[in-house]
Amino acid sequence: MGHYLGIDVGSITTKLVVLGQNDQVLAKSYIRNSGRPIEAIQQGMEEILAQLGESISINGVGTTGSARYLAAYLVGADLIKNEITAHAIAVIDFFPEVKTIVEIGGQDSKVIVLRSGVVVDFAMNTVCAAGTGSFLDQQAARLGISIEAFGDLALKADHPVRIAGRCTVFAETDMIHKQQIGHSVEDIVAGLCDSLVKNYLNNVCRGKEILSPIVFQGGVAANRGIQEALERELEVSLVIPKHFDVMGAIGAAKLVKKANLSKTQFRGFDLSRKSCSTRGFECCECGNQCEVIELLVDHRVVACWGDLCERYRQTMNGIGHGA
């Protein structure tokens, strides 16, 4: 039996998935980074090991996400791919008829346009977080409610209020004003959901042809308030995959499986029990003054990047790279 590990390390969360030979999800882990991606990857590997047991063998590892290179150097990945490719391949295999993928994560959001199973266009959010999950996290904290209860509260609203959602700062100011004049928490929460959805559609999706069937994935897909607001704006029902929260990791695992590797570079699950850290320094050997990063496992440098001339870099032979 072949087992394939996919790792998706984003700005807010780290996701790990192990797929079986028939692409079934055998184990998965979803962890908040809390600013420490290495520790999150190690914790995720511990959780996967607890679900599958010590005897599990891995035939290939793929990484994706904004920290895909860090993850690859750390675990010994065989393939590195960008988020667009990973999310698309996960959905296409699951739902071939899909024409649009709406993905809203912690600090980035994206739209992927597909036609006949091929990515023809995509877009990602810019520096503003107003159309992302972190926007909801911040506002839920200010309202004193859990993010898990956020979506259900939105569904209880009688008269959702209008919140200025083009910027997180403006949204916070507007939300405080709405509280002060007496609007209910339910109406404010529903207004925040509408605000996020309009920001996403007006910015990330601007100029894109959003056609049905539409798949909605990413951690925010668990929020029923956002789902309902999206369906109302798009005037169509959304398809939400069973494993909506780890689709990037599923895509990475699928891609490395398709590579038909003869041997994996995976360092093993015992990496989760080793000392892992990074350190940086500025190289003064030339005018570039590169900021070089070294990755240490058990106090030994196993990878290095950031040096334009590759003076310090230890190349990872055999890794397949994507954009």
Give pLDDT, residue 252. Answer: 97
**Same CATH topology for 4-89+249-273 and 96-240?**
yes
**Host H or E run for residue 177:** helix 168-180
Give pLDDT, residue 126. Answer: 61
Top-level class of domain 4-89+249-273: alpha beta
Per CATH, the architecture of 96-240 is what? 2-Layer Sandwich (3.30)
Give pLDDT, residue 132. Answer: 65
DSSP code per residue over 110-156: EEEEEETTEEEEEEE--S--TTSHHHHHHHHHHHT--HHHHHHHHHT
Determine the Cα–Cα distance for residues 129 and 115; give it in Å rounded to an integer. Answer: 29
Determine the Cα–Cα distance for residues 8 and 2; give it in Å rounded to an integer. Answer: 20
Give pLDDT, residue 318. Answer: 45
Joined together, the tokens standing for residue 34 give: 């809390």
Give pLDDT, residue 89. Answer: 94
* Residue 31: C-alpha distances to residues 66, 76, 140, 223, 276 (Å): 15, 20, 19, 17, 18
Instruction: Per residue of the chain (323 residues), give pLDDT as tens.
Output: 689 999 999 888 899 999 998 899 999 999 988 788 999 999 999 999 999 988 889 999 999 998 898 999 899 999 999 999 999 999 998 899 999 999 987 777 899 999 999 999 999 876 555 556 677 777 777 777 777 777 788 888 888 888 776 666 677 777 778 878 888 888 888 888 888 888 888 888 888 999 999 999 988 888 888 899 999 999 999 999 999 999 999 999 999 999 988 899 998 898 878 888 888 889 888 888 888 888 888 888 888 888 888 777 754 444 554 54
Sign of the four-CA dihedral 251, 252, 253, 256: positive
Determine the Cα–Cα distance for residues 208 and 120; give it in Å rounded to an integer. Answer: 10
Determine the Cα–Cα distance for residues 102 and 223; give it in Å rounded to an integer. Answer: 14
Residue 55 DSSP one-character state: T
Q: Are strands 276-282 and 214-217 parallel, antiparallel or unpaired?
A: unpaired
Nearest Cα to Cα of residue 27 among 51, 2, 58: 51
**Host H or E run for residue 95:** none
Q: Which amino acid is located at 239 in the chain?
A: V
For the chain, the structural domain boundaries read: 4-89+249-273, 96-240, 277-321
The Cα angle at residue 293 between residues 266 and 276, in degrees rounded to 5: 45
Helices 168-180 and 133-143: crossing angle in degrees, nearest 10, is 30
Nearest Cα to Cα of residue 104 among 128, 133, 127: 133
Nearest Cα to Cα of residue 313 among 292, 299, 285, 288: 292
Determine the Cα–Cα distance for residues 321 and 323; give it in Å rounded to an integer. Answer: 7
- Please say whether the beta carbons of 86 and 64 come within 8 A: yes
Q: What are phi and psi of 115, to 5 degrees?
A: -140, 120
- Please say whether the beta carbons of 252 and 63 come within 8 A: yes
**Host H or E run for residue 251:** helix 247-258
Give pLDDT, residue 172. Answer: 74
Q: State the alpha helices, DSSP H only, in 184-246.
A: 185-199, 224-234
